[in-house]
Chain A
Amino acid sequence: MSSLPPEVALDGRIRRQDGVLAQEAHGQTVLLRLDDGGYYALDEVGALIWELCDGRRAVGEIVDALCAEFDAPEETVMADVLEFIGDLRRERLLAVDAA
């Protein structure tokens, strides 16, 4: 298993930040940060992870859900999810609440 970025605890609950709007847009999902108008596009997999970040699931549960959806090794999925969550945390789109 890849090492965790220090800011993401495995048992932390991942949630979408307030003030971020999302909309499906022709096969992609556009995220808009309302406070400064910054926007981002997620592909299909990114959109699925975004949906799973509902404030109730921890990283492990998100990985489990993705492994059930896609035929991919858990280690690879975990690395991708952590990178995704780290990127979106830095962009103030996701937050991690302590368990």
Chain B
Amino acid sequence: MTVSSLPPEHALLLDAIAPLDQARADRQAWDGGRWGRTLRIADWHRLSPTLYCHLESKEEHAPAAVLSALERAYLAAAARSLFLAAARRQVVDALAAADVPAMLLKGAALVETVYSDPAQREMLDLDVLVPADRLPAANAALAALGYRTLPADDDPEGARSHVHAAEHHDPALVGEQHVVAVELHHHVVIAGEGAGFDIDDAWQRARAAPGATHLLPAPADLLLHVCLHFTRNRLGGSYRRRHTGGALGQICDIARIVEHEPIDWDALAAAARSYRLDARVFLALFAARELGVPVPSSALADLQPPRFDPRVGRRLVSLRVLRTGEGLPVRTVRWMLAPSREVLSRGWEADPSATLSLARAYLRRARAHAPGARSALRRPWSVVQDRRLNGQIHALEERA
């Protein structure tokens, strides 16, 4: 992807996470509107703290109000990272005391390996891998610290996506202060991914965290897991998943791993192939390289699925990575225009037995989705391309 084809706001974010010799973004003529839009996009990509550090360290500062807003986000992230670090120490100590092997995953592992400033890696929860047969002991150890699953009645709509149970981890456990959630994983893949992924391999390759009792993934496993999440969040079959924010935050993770970790690219390719995850890992690395992360071309060539069309990869980047958070609605006409009573009552507070209440809920929902619908009408070809993208990606996986 050429620098000139990048939206300017995304160009600035990329300058923050994967700098080139010459800056991609020329901010000379930016007005307040563009800066405001940049703040929203940075937030959606979970890069506000990183953008603050990038702009603050430049001689050519951003407007004071922009820096101030970013600084607030940065300091909040720093405070949250302190809280999470304290919780992390408490959790791994409790697991060690219960004789439960523990390996940190995702953000928790990244802040101990590739982020020198943990405030720059926003984290929603702590992900900890434990052996499947030790899950009951791990749950008991965390329960003794006050961690509980969130009761359904206390589960606000906004938090639901972060505390759901999945096939590869138990329901999230939330601390007494409702600030830190811990997800105990017994695997790193979900149903339909990585048919041959043997989690014992990951345990054997893991490294000890310096001066601590817990383990960290081997460098190649760290990268593989981040890549797997990137594609899972961009692809899959789920509307919600495809629209998860933080795409450039994940590209930042890949950039930091590539920069700081000694990756054995041959081993990564071999593992990805044996787990049948090569297409997913390839797409994440392809996207990262398109955006300026120095992924070796030989590593990409090793993982490239047969008959891969780079246009598909670039479409993935333009439609599902360089997003603004405004959404690219890919829904059926029926979904848009004829929601069921259940949808209106569960999601929009309608009384299913009262026609007036249903009508009001219908209008509230229509108003909420109107910006997305307008966006789709402005970009009909993008919507068509987006609809086709999942099929094209899945075809790549079948060929791999």
Mark A residues whose CB is within 8 Å of B.
21-23, 25-28, 30, 32, 34, 37, 39, 41
18 pairs from A and B in contact (CB 8 Å cutoff): A21-B86, A23-B85, A23-B118, A23-B119, A26-B53, A26-B74, A27-B56, A30-B75, A30-B79, A32-B79, A32-B82, A37-B79, A37-B83, A39-B75, A39-B76, A39-B78, A39-B79, A41-B75
Does B179 belong to the interface (CB within 8 Å)?
yes
Contact B83 A26 (CB under 8 A): no
A-B contact count (CB 8 A): 45
Most buried by A among B52, B53, B82: B82
5 extra interchain contacts, Cβ-Cβ under 8 A, other than A21-B86, A26-B74, A30-B119?
A: A21-B82, A21-B85, A23-B85, A25-B74, A32-B79
**1/0 per residue B52-86: CB within 8 Å of A?**
11001000000000000000001110110111011
How many B residues touch A, CB cutoff 8 Å?
Answer: 18
Q: Across the interface, name the chain B residue whose C-beta is closest to A28.
A: B75
Output the nearest chain A residue to B72 by Cβ-Cβ distance.
A41
- In the complex, which residue of chain A has the Cβ closest to the Cβ of B77? A25
Which residues of chain B are near A41, meaning CB under 8 Å? 75
Residues of B that sit less than 8 Å from A by CB: 52-53, 56, 74-76, 78-79, 81-83, 85-86, 117-119, 177, 179
Question: Is B177 a contact partner of A37 (Cβ separation < 8 A)?
Answer: yes
Majority secondary structure of chain B interface residues (helix, strand, loop or mixed): helix
B82 close to A26 (CB less than 8 A): no
What is the distance, in angstroms, from A40's C-beta to the closest C-beta of chain B?
Answer: 9
Bound form: Cα–Cα A25–B78 in Å: 7
Cα distance, A34 to B84, chains bound together (Å): 11
Which residues of chain A are within 8 angstroms of B177 by Cβ–Cβ distance?
A: 37
Which residues of A are found within 8 Å of B74, using beta-carbon distances?
25-26
Q: Which B residues lie within 8 Å of A37 (CB)?
A: 79, 83, 177, 179
Complexed CA–CA distance, A37 and B196 (Å): 43
Give B283 Cβ to nearest chain A Cβ, in Å: 33
Quote the shortest CB–CB distance from A85 to chain B (angstroms). Answer: 22
Q: How far is the CB of B185 from chain A (nearest CB, A)?
A: 26
**A37 CA to B82 CA in the complex, in Å?**
10
Distance in angstroms between the alpha carbons of A32 and B119 in the assembled complex = 13
A49 CA / B236 CA spacing, docked (Å): 52
CA distance A27 to B119 in the complex (A): 13
Find the residue from A26, A37, A39 having the highest chain B CB count within 10 A.
A26
9 closest pairs, A vs B, by CB?
A: A39-B79, A25-B78, A30-B78, A32-B82, A21-B82, A32-B79, A41-B75, A23-B82, A25-B119
A32-B82, A32-B83, A34-B83 as given contacts; A25 in contact with B117, CB under 8 Å: yes
Cα(A22)–Cα(B85), bound, Å: 11
**Measured between alpha carbons, how far is A41 from B52 in the docked complex, in Å?**
15
Bound-state CA distance A34–B79 (Å) is 10
> In this complex, what residue of A is CB-closest to B52?
A26
User: How close is B263's CB to chain A, nearest CB, in angstroms?
Assistant: 27
Instruction: Name the distance in Å between B48's Cβ and chain A's nearest Cβ.
Output: 13
Across-interface contacts of A30 in B (CB, < 8 A): 75, 78-79, 82, 119
Q: Which residues of B contact A21 (CB under 8 A)?
A: 82-83, 85-86
* Chain A residues within an 8 Å CB radius of B79: 30, 32, 37, 39
Nearest-CB residue, chain B, relative to A27: B56
Q: Which residues of B lie under 8 Å from residue A32 when comparing CB positions?
A: 79, 82-83
Would A26 and B86 count as touching, CB distance under 8 A?
no
**Cβ-defined partner of B81 (8 Å) among A22, A23, A28:** A23
A41 to B132, CA, bound (A): 42
CB-CB < 8 A to A25: which residues of B? 74-75, 78, 117, 119
Contacts of B78 in A (CB 8 A): 23, 25-26, 30, 39
Contacting residues, chain B, for A28 (C-beta < 8 A): 75
